[in-house]
Structure 1
């Protein structure tokens, strides 16, 4: 990764470099942080325990921004891989994977990350566009809570 003059990191290890735009505090209100298990740049195609990287996006009703790419290799990964990987994405609210085992789900959920399994290879931004449409309408209460909506705003049914 290198920083260009605009402060944007560029992953230059591929033919099609992806731009990473880090996020400053309070830059995207009403947003969620999403990890995508990936083996190929820009794709949701990775198994949680064996993916090459996690693409980290910040998603709001108006914007989708790639803010980081986290490699899954490292000495720590050799000891307790599922715990290491869950800790690697601990700042995320949602995890999209093509596959994940039961013990790994437990590690992810322990970090308050909501795993979502998506069968088949797909562009990450296609999945995130669908999430974005959910965010812009009426997100489910658990997601509205993550986005910082008040308790009153998350109520879906009137009480009698």
Structure 2
């Protein structure tokens, strides 16, 4: 499944969703994970609602987005698009989060994560 990480330094999850201009995109499955690119979202001069909408549209094919912070309205709009926002611990390294997510995927992911995995175009998960 595709997972986005809001980052200013390309190493840590350290950016607020509404201010993020770079999202690192990863393809993550139970057994493999690969960096697939950087999604740039520019928002100079836009109001808050347009910034949220632009980011949501750009992340449409992602199942999860990890951020340092996110406001309630922005989180609700992402969830409505079936993108699950996750607030990360302060400046958590992306590589560590990828490994932890893979562990959860291999074991017994919660129902909401099983649904998020099914959003992916890649068949990385088979429901038992």
- TM superposition score category, shorter chain reference: 0.7 to 0.9
Find the aligned partners of 1:147 and 1:100 in 2 and give their Cα distance: 22
TM-score by structure 1 length? 0.69
2:24 to 55, 60, 74: 55
Who is 2:122 aligned against?
none
Which ranges in structure 2 are unaligned for 5 or more consecutive residues? 119-125
Other-structure match for 1:43: 12
Are 1:132 and 2:102 matched, yes or no?
A: yes
- In structure 2, what is the Cα distance between the partners aligned to 1:69 and 1:136? 26
Given the two structures, how large is their TM-score scaled by the length of structure 2? 0.84
Q: Which structure would you say has the larger Rg? A: 1
Higher relative contact order (CA 8 A, sep 6+): 2
2:63 and 2:117 in contact (8 A); partners too: no
CA shift, 1:142, in A, is 2.3
Alignment of 1:83-94 (within 5 A): 83-94=53-64
In structure 1, C-alpha distance between the alignment counterparts of 2:92 and 2:67, rounded to whole Å: 11
Give the length in aligned residue pairs: 119
The alignment's C-alpha RMSD in Å is 1.6
Please list every run of 5 or more consecutive structure 1 residues that lacks an aligned counterpart in the other structure.
1-31, 154-160
